[in-house]
Amino acid sequence: MPSETAPRILVIGTGDTKAEELLFMKQCIEQSGGSAVMMDVSVLGDPPYSPDHDKHAVARAVDVTIAEIVSSGDENTAMTLMAGGAVQLVRKLHQNGEIDAFIAIGGSMGTDLALDVALCLPLGVPKFVVSTIAYSHLIPPERVAPDLMMILWAGGLYGLNSICRLVLSQACGAVVGAARIVLEARMSAPAIGPTIGMTSLGSSCLRYMKTLKPALEQRGYDVAVFHTTGMGGRAFESIAGQDHFCAVFDFSLQEITNHLAGSVVSSGTDRLENAGARGTPQIAAPGAVDMVDLPTWQDLPAKFSTRPFHAHNRLIASITVDADDRRQVARTIAAKLGAAKGRSAFI
């Protein structure tokens, strides 16, 4: 049995179709020193065990019944409603201090729901999703929480086997370990100063962070540097939107160029917006806006075929931009900074 101080791990899944796997996870969590809190998000069937939070509680969280969800006759509508209920219930559990971390399993349905749950929890709460579609093009980057840990569920489509047991047991050990570290850090971590968010493309082309980070730390600030290669910018914007930064030094705006050029190495439409929308003081600079990043392993789009091309490595490559591109980027940056509610400077 877990101790009273054991990390409380919320386990989410469809108990009607994945009961064997979910009960195995409960066992793994408890053997690792954690306490499993089970949430069932089934729609049609019932699990052969009594979850701590059943599907009816999930449905009630969005003011519907399971019967009403079933009567929709559409699986996408059903899972979207259950996802909304799970978000409301999980948020309440966390606010009440009843869970320390969460782990979910699923195919496309369970993953769809789990991504919403991960986004509803604040930065620092361990979030694990074990999915048969992890890392695939089915996962929209904008739905990935900035500190989500996703694990490919090999052999996990139906029932337990030697391969999926390995994946599930390691994932359960990881989430318990992560939750324990967070709990211990709350008890013993030294005081940390206000956090400044900084962006950079890398230490070879944008070197300011090597000087600025230690100088700011000497002044009592905590400095978090984000790699602006698409997902890094998304994480930066997500955390800025949570009021986590006391100020931002957004000196690498190259993802704006990528987005305007149609590159998949994009951080979305809200790049350079969330700090300003929250009134966070920001200093911006046009670092690396003179190039577009693209995956090295994909064919170069025809519209860029005549431009100078450089492969940085086997993952990412760059091409130059022309004068029209630069003007468009400049206008976009100016508009975004002009809409900021807080103090903004451009260098």
SS (H, E, C) the chain: CCCCCCCEEEEEECCCCCHHHHHHHHHHHHHCCCEEEEEECCCCCCCCCCCCECHHHHHHCCCCCHHHHHHCCCHHHHHHHHHHHHHHHHHHHHHCCCCCEEEEEECHHHHHHHHHHHHHCCCCCCEEEEECCCCCCCCCHHHCCCCEEEEECCCCCCCCCHHHHHHHHHHHHHHHHHHHHHHHHHHHCCCCCCEEEEEECCCCCCCHHHHHHHHHHHCCCEEEEEECCCHHHHHHHHHHCCCCCCEEEEEECHHHHHHHHCCCCCCCCCCCCHHHHCCCCEEEEEECCCEEEEECCCCCCHHHCCCCEEECCCCEEEEECCHHHHHHHHHHHHHHHHCCCCCEEEC
Q: What is the CATH number of domain 8-187?
A: 3.40.50.12020
User: In the chain, where are the structural domains located?
Assistant: 8-187, 195-346
Closest by alpha carbon to 27, among 179, 178, 165, 177?
A: 165
Instruction: Return d(Cα 65, Cα 71) in angstroms, integer.
Output: 10
Residue 189 is predicted with a pLDDT of 65
Domain 195-346 sits in CATH at 3.40.50.12030
Residue 203: per-residue pLDDT: 77
pLDDT at position 303: 87
Tell me which residue has tokens 């008890």: 187
pLDDT value of residue 2: 57
Please determine whether the domains at 8-187 and 195-346 fall in the same fold group of CATH. Answer: yes
Q: How buried is 157 (Cβ within 10 angstroms: 0-12 exposed, 13-18 middle, 19+ buried)?
A: exposed
pTM (global) more than 0.85: yes
User: What is the full per-residue pLDDT of the chain (347 aa) written as tens digits?
Assistant: 455 679 999 999 999 999 999 999 999 999 999 999 999 999 999 999 999 999 999 999 999 999 999 999 999 999 999 999 999 999 999 999 999 999 999 999 999 999 999 999 999 999 999 999 999 999 999 999 999 999 999 999 999 999 999 999 999 999 999 999 999 887 776 778 999 999 999 877 788 999 999 999 999 999 999 999 999 999 999 999 999 999 999 999 999 999 999 999 999 999 999 999 999 999 999 999 999 999 999 998 898 889 999 999 999 999 999 999 999 999 999 999 999 999 999 99
Tokens of 103: 């782990």
- Could you count the other beta carbons within 10 Å of the beta carbon of residue 73? 8
HSE, side-chain direction, 13 A CA sphere, residue 346: 13
How far is residue 50's CA from residue 52's CA, in Å, rounded to a whole number? 7
The identity of residue 46, as a single letter, is D
Report how far apart the first and last C-alpha atoms of the chain are (Å, whole number): 59
